[in-house]
Amino acid sequence: MFNSTHTLAGLALARVGLDRRTPYALWTAAIAANLPDIDIVYAFDSTAAYLQHHRGITHALVSLPVLSLALAVAMYYFTRLRGKPRVPLVNYFVLALAAMATHPLLDLANNYGIRLFLPFSQAWSYGDTLFIIDPYLDAILFATVIATYLWRSRTMMTAIAGISLALAYIGVRFELRNMATAQLATHLPSVSALRQYAALPQMMNPLVWTGMVETETAMSNFSIDLLSHEVSLESSMSTPAPSAAVVAARSTYTGRVFDGFARFPVAVVEEQPEGFNVLLIDYRFYRRSIGTALAAEIRLDRSLRVLSESMSFTKPISPNP
């Protein structure tokens, strides 16, 4: 999820009562709720490095107590240096652990995915319930935090009510996802060689979902309208037969990272005078309206030696590559 959601979730949780008699409790909660995203430093290296490590070990369940303890120790000694009243280290640890636990749970809810069980498993898990930026959830959490200061005499009850409303909203989105998936499934019996399908959330309209369908010959994107019960094709790309160029592209560092991340991958091979240009596209992030996608681009010579490799979330893609 976006960092605004993580921050507000941490603050709202702290206002349940975890911030009582703990100096800098809200700062601790806000930092803890965002700390797993420390892996964003890999973005300064390359998009491939970012994809390889983001939502990796710092988001895994085994890391939560370790990161929480590190933050708790840092805040404990920081408050002592600032001359604040001493409180047990466990206060900071419980607060940090509770706030940090919201991070992987929220990330699990969207379609980007998360690797919860590293280092024991590299498998990605997807909730497909919330878009990565959810303005409605942010509004609920923001209102909750503000309300706890407006009604100070009922801070805990107000925070609990706000968090309950947020959980109810997520529950509704979960049920809408199930409805969208079922609606998409009714249009699939005539689809031959089906491999996988999923209903993915959109940001603004919770009643319109994106349907992803992969077959042996094509990758397709559908619009699912829950009110009208319409499922309409938005875009489609043919899946080419396996080729030596695609195999060579996937064997590169960028190709391996792409394969480890992509959920709905499609390869496009363009033959050029000097060799081949291979695009590895994750169709989840294909935006036909602006002609971009998350894609790896590997250029090969006629002998399939790598000339260049790159990856971008906004790689230009022609409508019918």
Q: Which tens digit of pLDDT belongs to each residue from 2-14?
A: 999 999 999 999 9
Q: Is the pTM of this model over 0.85?
A: yes
pLDDT for residue 33? 98
pLDDT for residue 19? 85
pLDDT for residue 289? 82
- In the chain, which residues have pLDDT < 70? 319-321
Q: Measure CA of the first residue to CA of the last residue in the chain; give whole Å.
A: 31
- For 320, counting Cβ atoms within 10 Å of its Cβ (0-12 exposed, 13-18 middle, 19+ buried), the class is exposed
pLDDT for residue 172? 98
Judge whether 108 and 93 are in contact, CB under 8 Å.
no
Which tokens sit at 44?
Answer: 């300064």
Beta-carbon contacts of 182 under 8 Å, excluding residues fewer than 6 positions away, are none
pLDDT for residue 6? 97
Q: Domain 244-316's class?
A: alpha beta
Q: What is the signed CA dihedral for 125, 131, 135, 136, rounded to 10 degrees?
A: -80
pLDDT for residue 317? 86
CA distance 161 to 293: 40
pLDDT for residue 319? 60
Which tokens sit at 70?
Answer: 């590190």
pLDDT for residue 320? 55
